[in-house]
Amino acid sequence: MSPEETPLLPGAIPHRAEGTAPIPGISPRASASRSGPMSGPARLPFNIGHRGYKAMFPENSMAAFHGALEAGAHALETDLHLSRDGVVVLSHDATLKRCFGVDAKVADCDWAYLSTLRTLRGEPRQGMPRLADLLAWLAGLDRPGPADADDAPVWLLLDVKTDDDPERLLPAVAHAIASVPCGGGGGDGSGGGKGWKERIVVGCWNENYINHARLHLPGHPLVYIGFSLLYARRFLSDDHADVHFNLLQPTLVGPVGAHFRREARRRGRKLFVWTVNDEGWMEWCIRKAVDGVITDEVGRFAEVRGRFEDADVGGGEAGGDGVRWPRMLRLYCSAILLQAVVAVVSLLLWHRLSRMGSGGKGRKAKAGLVPGTP
């Protein structure tokens, strides 16, 4: 069973009363003196919770986001979809079947109905949050105090799904962001304090969506999300000098991956990798000086990262591979095999990959598909 098919795991909701101590794990030492996702140079990679803390809580739930920070995450990765009535919700899947047991699409349901759903696993069972709910919670975590680069606020890496028309989804994302004040500043990041433009990175899966993100979310850092280095190379050009990378980690292993890493670093681009759950690959990511590691296993990566806190790994790739023989050989062989498969798939799907989000085709919701919707 693949990680994407793994049923949601049970887990209690962590609770912290108002006015209690800051979240454990987000200490000045853990933040590694970094004030934002695009600040640098990196000393150690950001610990980025994949859909929150997916290994322990229902994914993309408020419990998962809370749990990720408790376990030591510096940032949260989450997925965006649009409801039928234009509300930006947090869901990896375009359908409700896997997580909520409902045979319907998110795009065919109004928020009034989606807000009543609860996850299949996890006690107490979790609801589906809106982007605005997550932003309001993060804004509430901020506490007044002296400006300190070590006390970096939590930031977000958004995964803009291609199931939705970018001409509808991205303006709705901009509206949701603008609706929530950030740390005392304006919701658009123009006010005082740490604005959302310093805390929200927008990730897109192809050039069309990135162009829409530039239009509707100006000033936000952009990343290309993908698994194909062939397609990713187009964003190394000067035409896309504002685009960073969020890539499938095994594609960056070996000579081809090393060349891409060097080129991205030479051009000043940030490099995040997904989804890294193996301890050996976690060590590899630290030694290869990637900027952020997206992981289901937030607690595990916090422990691995902690072992490197006093190591001199900044300023470029360190020697060694972070894994030992013969396990290293097995991991590298599987990565190279995956690269070959990805190269073939990229060529076969090149036209589709390039066309996603073009043409401005909207979605017409079907009435009456789900109980509780008009």
Question: What are the counts of helices (DSSP H) followed by strands (DSSP E) for the chain?
Answer: 13, 9
Q: Please give the Cα distance from 48 to 39 (Å, whole number).
A: 15
pLDDT at 186 over 60: no
Q: Which amino acid is at 365?
A: A
pLDDT at 191 over 60: no
* Tens-digit pLDDT profile for residues 285-311: 999 999 999 999 999 999 999 999 866
pLDDT value for 24 = 30
Q: Is 89 part of a structural domain of the chain?
A: yes
**CA angle, 283 then 285 then 288, to 5°:** 110
Instruction: Check residue 192 and give its pLDDT.
Output: 33
Q: Round to the nearest angstrom and report the end-to-end CA distance of the chain.
A: 37
User: If 0-12 CB within 10 Å is exposed, 13-18 middle and 19+ buried, where does residue 160 land?
Assistant: buried
- The pair of three-digit structure tokens given for residue 24, joined into one six-digit string: 């454990």
Find out whether 104 and 370 touch, Cβ atoms under 8 Å: yes
The reported pLDDT for the residue numbered 35 is: 60
Q: What is the dihedral of CA 31, 158, 356, 335, to 10 degrees?
A: 40
- State which amino acid sits at residue 292: G
pLDDT digits (tens, 9 = 90+) for 262-274: 999 999 999 999 9
pLDDT value for 2: 40
Q: What is the pTM of this model?
A: 0.82
Q: Give the integer Cα–Cα distance in Å for 272 and 249.
A: 8
Average pLDDT over residues 171-197: 73
pLDDT at position 342 over 90: no
Q: What is the model's pLDDT at position 14?
A: 36
- Name the residue among 250, 99, 220 with its Cα closest to residue 160: 220
Question: For residue 12, what pLDDT is reported?
Answer: 36
Highest mean pLDDT among 10-14, 160-164, 328-332: 160-164
* For range 338-348, the mean pLDDT: 77
* Residue at 217 is within a domain: yes
Of 53-67, 117-131, 329-343, give the lowest mean pLDDT range: 329-343
24's CB contacts (< 8 A; 6+ apart) are 70, 72
| pLDDT higher than 60, residue 235 | yes
% pLDDT > 90, the chain: 62
What 3-state class would DSSP assign to 145?
A: coil
**Structural domain of 291:** 45-142+149-355
Mean pLDDT of 103-126: 96
- Residue pair 353/231 in contact by the 8 Å Cβ criterion: yes
Mean pLDDT across 112-132? 96
pLDDT at 366: 36
Band of pLDDT at residue 91, cut at 50, 70 and 90: very high
340 vs 192 pLDDT, higher one:
340
The CATH number for 83's domain is 3.20.20.190
Is the peptide bond between 41 and the residue preceding it cis, with omega within 30 degrees of 0? yes
Closest by CA to 204, choosing from 232, 176, 178, 229, is: 232
- From the list 45, 91, 79, 47, the residue with the least C-alpha distance to 203 is 79
Residue 92 lies in a domain: yes
The arithmetic mean of pLDDT across residues 251-255, rounded, is 92
Q: What is the pLDDT of residue 23?
A: 26
- CA dist., res. 201 & res. 179, Å (int): 17
What's the structural domain count of the chain? 1
Whether 33 maps to a domain, the answer reads no
Q: How many CB atoms lie within 10 A of CB 219?
A: 13
Which pLDDT score, from 0 to 100, does residue 319 have?
53
User: Helix (H, G, I), strand (E, B), or coil: what is residue 324?
Assistant: coil
Per residue in 345-363, pLDDT tens? Answer: 777 777 777 777 776 443 3
Q: How far apart are CA 330 and CA 125, in angstroms?
A: 39
Under the banding of pLDDT at 50, 70 and 90, the label for residue 8 is very low
Mean pLDDT for the chain?
81
The predicted structure's pLDDT at residue 347:
76
Burial class of residue 325 (count of CB atoms within 10 Å of its CB; 0-12, 13-18, 19+): exposed
Lowest model confidence (mean pLDDT) among 106-115, 277-286, 344-353: 344-353
pLDDT at 337 over 90: no
What is the C-alpha separation between 143 and 193, in angstroms, rounded?
11
Please report whether residue 371 resides in a domain.
no
Question: Is residue 333 included in any domain, yes or no?
Answer: yes
Nearest to 248 by CA among 294, 182, 316, 314: 294
Residue 296 lies in a domain: yes
As given in the structure block, the two tokens for residue 6 are 């793994």
The residue to which tokens 């000067």 are assigned: 238
Higher pLDDT, 15 or 126: 126
Q: Is residue 16 domain-resident?
A: no
**Rounded to whole angstroms, how far apart are CA atoms 228 and 45?**
22
Lowest-confidence segment of 146-150, 185-189, 198-202, 258-262 by average pLDDT? 146-150
Q: Classify 227 as helix, strand or coil.
A: coil
Task: Read off the tokens for 11.
Answer: 């887990």
**What is the model's pLDDT at position 333?**
81
Which has the minimum average pLDDT: 10-19, 79-88, 317-326, 345-354? Answer: 10-19
| 82: pLDDT strictly greater than 50 | yes
Helix (H) / strand (E) containing 248: strand 243-248
Angle between helix 298-307 and 279-287 (nearest 10): 50
Q: What is the mean pLDDT of residues 19-28?
A: 30
